[in-house]
A and B are shown apart, each in its own frame.
Chain A
Amino acid sequence: QQPVQSPQAVILREGEDAVINCSSSKALYSVHWYRQKHGEAPVFLMILLKGGEQKGHEKISASFNEKKQQSSLYLTASQLSYSGTYFCGTVQGKSTFGDGTTLTVKP
């Protein structure tokens, strides 16, 4: 079952924060996050496996709730390079991705 992402699009100024949510009606084995820039392939950001897990590097972090049905990606003090489309995905029998959240960071 395809995860549901929200919001569909976000526009920020440099330095502002954003949260992207990914939810499922059933518990997920894992959730992974990717960023895709226009015309390029997705780039792996991180994977979360455990309920209650939080993980991050630099100013991008993510959490996985205890029930493993929701994950959130946190982008703090956004930079222009953060612009792109963010996908959450999972592999349960097959690989599926959410519809993506387009993030635009303006100067």
Chain B
Amino acid sequence: GAVVSQHPSRVICKSGTSVKIECRSLDFQATTMFWYRQFPKQSLMLMATSNEGSKATYEQGVEKDKFLINHASLTLSTLTVTSAHPEDSSFYICSASPGTSIPDTQYFGPGTRLTVL
């Protein structure tokens, strides 16, 4: 149980294009989903926290208009990188929390490696 999928796993795009990344909880309902960015050999950097049906809470320094997050249902959240530039190249990881009697448990998706040319 507790499987989270992410799609696509890898994307290469040209500068200026937008990229959408999907995060799905396959066998549980995720009351909260988190989006992270990770640079090589570094820790996970939280970008935003989203709850189903409400606006995402972005971390300081993360541009809301550039990284659009939609949490449309209890099993799906999307991250859209708008007008991507080479500096947006990174490993993006989502996680989902079932919000059950064990709080804070996060199950991670496999990640999406974005390369912007």
Contacts and interface: CB of A to CB of B under 8 A. Distances in A.
Interface string B81-117: 0000000000001010000001111111111000000
Nearest to B57: A94
A42 B108 contact: yes
B54 interface: no
B105 A41 contact: no
Interface in A74-107: 87, 89-91, 94-100
A95 B108 contact: no
B114 to A, nearest CB: 14
Name the prevailing secondary structure of the A interface residues.
strand
B71 to A, nearest CB: 15
B102 to A, nearest CB: 6
B81 to A, nearest CB: 18
Task: In the A-B complex, list the 3 residue pairs whose CB atoms are closest, starting with the nearest.
Answer: A91-B104, A41-B108, A41-B111
